[in-house]
């Protein structure tokens, strides 16, 4: 059995802390805390006590009062409740909302839904460091603005907004402010009262708690600003009805307490590990730190690499579990919208890695990850047509001739060069250089084997559709094989 990859995707989700899992188990089986918290009997009362204890634990982490904590299924629901609930409740007073282009989808999609309901949404563009300026926010506010939603820590770059300055602008204009704090809670010190936030979202699974539970902070006096999205039962101040999952809520509470207790020490440790990783990567040429020089969450490092194709980079890092700015999978060809908003071009945005560290990350793992990324970036750059001129290191010999041909080119998602060592009308040897996805690289390498011994008048071994079938290339990537065909046809032109 192969060794597990090094986990560097803590920003996506975290393993449940063993202490949290043990507490949750106590609330699941026959005992004193499995009851419905809404029931009046002792089993319900025991469960309700667990819920209220967890509410206090969450409140301490946020610097809130327990009565200001509303339990939800996670940050996605919390964000939806804050954005849709606040905007719809104020629809008779105004229909303008302000957010940013780099928000999480669970804020952007509700904003788009509001657009379909007749609201106007202004999406602010951050500066190149990833932050929204207070002046830019002030300029975007209108008399009919009913909500501003700006995240505290970006989930891709880790950049921390100056939420206090943004909140001051909103407070001066009397506009409620919601902040998605899913990546900040338990990672940096939070005091929602001092920051003057009206609403703040968090989720358990980003801080070593279970998936499926989170919370929305609702400032005292702000309940009237929210319209519920669901109805029935009246739980959670009638904002989130339904039987409360005691085990999940208890897990969230303990996860918050543990994160708060270790925050200062863990923040310093993760910052040191993050900088250790960055110092090692920064010595490579053509490497860009996304979010520099803004303050960032301790455990997130987002880096773009020039001269490599993003999907191939990730495929070559099978020993690392991480996320990428390259959404080059067959079902999502678009690069990271966050990095594009920061001014990265499409190719750089696709060739980006988010390496996120956490509670169980070690210095040895960071060093191994650094070695893996360095080696793979170097390998892909050496393989690219940009890495060397045609014919480099492979000269003509007696009775032989070097023929080359290219398809695609710099700045394109696919760039292929074939180099054929020919004797008369016969291919004696073939080699290649490629900048492209793993499927493209595989086909090009396979074709080089097919080309050996072929005659000039029958150089092409079939058509792209046949190559795709032979090498199991997804149909949506067939266009990239047309570039491969262009490179072979260019060889024929130069061979003539």
Residues with a known catalytic role: 328
- Alpha helix ranges (H) inside 124-245: 134-140, 163-173, 192-195
Residue with tokens 């929210």: 226
Q: Is 92 exposed, middle or buried (0-12, 13-18, 19+ CB in 10 A)?
A: exposed
Query: Bridge partners of 202?
Result: 215
Contact between residue 17 and residue 251 where contact means Cβ atoms under 8 Å apart = no
Please choose, from the candidates 451, 421, 452, 447, the residue with its C-alpha nearest in 3D space to the C-alpha of residue 434: 447
Contact between residue 81 and residue 107 where contact means Cβ atoms under 8 Å apart = no
Return the structure tokens found at 116: 């379909």
Contacts 24+ apart (CB under 8 A), 165-171: 165/134, 166/132, 166/134, 166/137, 167/195, 167/196, 167/197, 168/134, 168/196, 169/134, 169/137, 169/138, 169/141, 170/137, 170/141, 170/196, 171/196
Which backbone phi and psi does 372 adopt, to 5 degrees? -65, -45
Q: Is the peptide bond before 163 cis (omega within 30 degrees of 0)?
A: no
Which backbone phi and psi does 94 adopt, to 5 degrees? 180, 160
Q: Is 389 exposed, middle or buried (0-12, 13-18, 19+ CB in 10 A)?
A: exposed
Question: Which residues, other chains included, contact 396 with Cβ-Cβ below 8 Å and sequence gap of 6+?
Answer: 402
Interstrand relation of 426-435 and 415-423 (parallel, antiparallel or unpaired)? antiparallel
Query: Bridge partners of 403?
Result: 420
Return the structure tokens found at 315: 């495929």
Whole-number Å distance between alpha carbons of 155 and 6:
20
Whole-number Å distance between alpha carbons of 79 and 182:
10
């Amino acid at each position: 059995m192969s060794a597990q990859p090094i986990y560097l995707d803590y920003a996506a989700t975290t393993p449940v802390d063993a202490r949290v899992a043990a507490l949750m188990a106590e609330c699941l089986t026959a005992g004193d805390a499995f009851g419905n918290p809404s029931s009046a009997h002792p089993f319900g009362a025991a469960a309700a006590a667990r819920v209220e204890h967890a509410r206090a634990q969450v409140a301490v982490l946020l610097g809130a009062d327990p009565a200001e904590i509303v339990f939800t299924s996670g940050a996605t629901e919390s964000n939806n409740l804050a954005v849709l609930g606040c905007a719809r409740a104020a629809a008779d007073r105004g229909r303008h909302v302000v957010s940013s282009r780099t928000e999480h989808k669970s804020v952007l999609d509700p904003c788009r839904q509001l657009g379909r309901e007749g609201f106007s949404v202004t999406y602010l563009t951050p500066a190149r460091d990833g932050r929204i300026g207070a002046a830019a926010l002030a300029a975007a506010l209108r008399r009919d603005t009913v909500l501003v939603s700006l995240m505290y820590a970006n989930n891709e770059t880790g950049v921390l907004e100056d939420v206090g300055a943004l909140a001051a602008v909103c407070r001066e204009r009397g506009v409620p402010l919601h902040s998605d704090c899913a990546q900040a809670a338990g990672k940096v010190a939070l005091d929602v009262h001092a920051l003057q936030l009206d609403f703040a979202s968090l989720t358990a699974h980003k801080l070593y708690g279970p998936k499926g539970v989170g919370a929305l902070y609702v400032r005292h006096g702000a309940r009237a600003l929210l319209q519920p999205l669901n109805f029935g039962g009246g739980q959670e101040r009638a904002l989130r009805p339904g039987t409360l999952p005691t085990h999940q809520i208890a897990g969230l509470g303990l996860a918050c307490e543990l994160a708060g207790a270790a925050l200062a020490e863990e923040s310093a440790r993760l910052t040191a590990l993050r900088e250790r990783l960055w110092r090692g990567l920064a010595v490579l040429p053509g490497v860009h730190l996304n979010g520099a020089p803004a303050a960032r969450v301790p455990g997130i490092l987002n880096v773009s690499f020039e001269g490599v194709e993003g999907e191939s980079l990730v495929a070559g890092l099978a020993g690392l579990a991480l996320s990428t700015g390259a959404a080059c999978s067959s079902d999502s060809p678009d690069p990271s919208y966050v990095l594009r908003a920061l001014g990265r071009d499409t190719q750089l945005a696709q060739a980006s890695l988010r390496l996120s560290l956490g509670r169980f990350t070690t210095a040895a793992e960071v060093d191994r990850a650094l070695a893996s990324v360095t080696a793979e970036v170097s390998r892909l750059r050496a393989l690219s047509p940009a890495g060397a001129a045609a014919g480099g290191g492979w000269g003509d010999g007696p009775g032989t001739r070097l023929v080359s041909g290219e398809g695609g080119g710099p700045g394109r998602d696919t760039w292929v060069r074939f180099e054929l060592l020919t004797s008369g009308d016969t291919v004696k040897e073939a080699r290649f250089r490629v900048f492209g996805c793993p499927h493209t690289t595989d086909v090009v390498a396979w074709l080089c084997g097919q080309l050996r011994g072929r005659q000039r008048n029958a150089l092409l071994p079939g058509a792209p559709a046949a190559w795709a079938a032979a090498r199991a290339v997804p149909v949506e990537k067939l266009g990239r094989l047309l570039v491969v065909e262009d490179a072979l046809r260019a060889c024929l032109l130069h061979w003539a």
